[in-house]
Amino acid sequence: MSRRAVLGLGGAALVWSSLRAEPAQARASAAPDPEAVLGLLKPEIRPRSAWGADLAVTGEILAEDDVRFLLVHHTASTNDYGPDEVVDQIREFHRFHTGPEKGWPDVAYNFFVDRFGGIWEARAGSIDGPVRGDATGGSQGFALLCSLIGDHSRVEVSPEATESLVRLLAWLAERHDIDTTPGASVDFVSRGSNRWPAGAAVTAATISGHRDMSTTSCPGDFAYGLLATELPTRVSAARRDAVAAVAPQPSPTEAPSVTLQPQEQAARTGATGALEGASSSTVDRAETGALSPTAPGSGDDGPLTVVIGAAATMTAVLVAGALALRRRVS
């Protein structure tokens, strides 16, 4: 094989290397911004100050530094409340939870969802970051607590509350990198409850109900029935939609260009005399997908420029090079 043929193979290899690298580069540039995904998923949440600016936190609230799953509750209170009665409902929960019967430092949950779809910050600091909640029967930790306002052992969860619960769970799951696909589970060691004593190994769905952690009927059969498939499916879909919405679109890829310098003068042949020096030849990709060489020009030795379309295959490059070489020596 001549040195010119070897040079042609080297150019083709360089083009092939460029083409192979492009998809990985495109994939890297198309990675979505995690903060943008979170911003899109975050629902409107009314802060604790909207219902309890005058109500004190009566004890220490600990950070929850290892969030592994999300826990759904209900308040087991009346379902017959109007929009203007939600604040009074939450304030009553605070009075009961911080009173002598429970003795917790603040309301037990991280977030409330009312039957009209309103989302409320419950325990102080829950919007800014994960804080540890409390629960009747004991809290195993590793979870954030989201409570529906009402008694869902007797009535279904309203469509508005369900939609808001989906949005809240999707945001929290994305913030803490929790797998919410249907059937996803997590393992942990219980910190203690009346169902799982401290030190017990627990396997739980990543969206669980309070009854999975403690001996209780919470969050009621109607709410609990949403946990197996509907909530995980809808939460996961909301997260995928958010990722797709913020993912940058890859820009059109320009055709890579490779410039080769001829390394030798063409050999003399028969009565034709000295061949002219290597001349410029451009190989353009035809609309049919084949590569067709243009007629070589004349003049002094110059760069042999090969312009390869981004979709050209290795075989097409080699065939084009062979055709161009054949024209020069014939």
Torsions phi, psi of 215, nearest 5?
Answer: -80, 95
Tokens read off for 48: 């604790």
Predicted pLDDT of residue 289: 41
In the chain the domains, ranked by start, together with CATH numbers, are: 3-28+254-329 (no CATH), 34-246 (3.40.80.10)
Tokens read off for 2: 């001549």
| Top mean-pLDDT range of 31-35, 70-74, 290-294, 316-320 | 70-74
Q: Which range has the worst mean pLDDT, 64-73, 178-187, 202-211, 280-289?
A: 280-289
Is this structure's pTM higher than 0.75?
no
224: confidence class by pLDDT, cuts 50, 70, 90: very high
**Is it the case that residue 249 has pLDDT exceeding 90?**
no
CA distance 111 to 117: 12
Collapsing DSSP states into helix, strand and coil, what is residue 105? coil
CA distance 204 to 110: 19
CA distance 226 to 54: 35
Q: What is the mean pLDDT of the chain?
A: 78
Paired sense of beta strands 111-113 and 119-121, if any: antiparallel
**Is it the case that residue 241 has pLDDT exceeding 90?**
yes
pLDDT digits (tens, 9 = 90+) for 125-179: 999 999 999 999 988 889 999 999 999 998 999 999 999 999 999 999 999 999 9
Measured between its terminal Cα atoms, the distance across the chain in Å is: 17
Burial of 281 (0-12, 13-18, 19+ CB in 10 A): buried
Q: Which range has the worst mean pLDDT, 19-33, 163-177, 201-215?
A: 19-33
CA distances to 40, 86, 165, 228, 306 from 113, in Å: 19, 10, 7, 19, 64
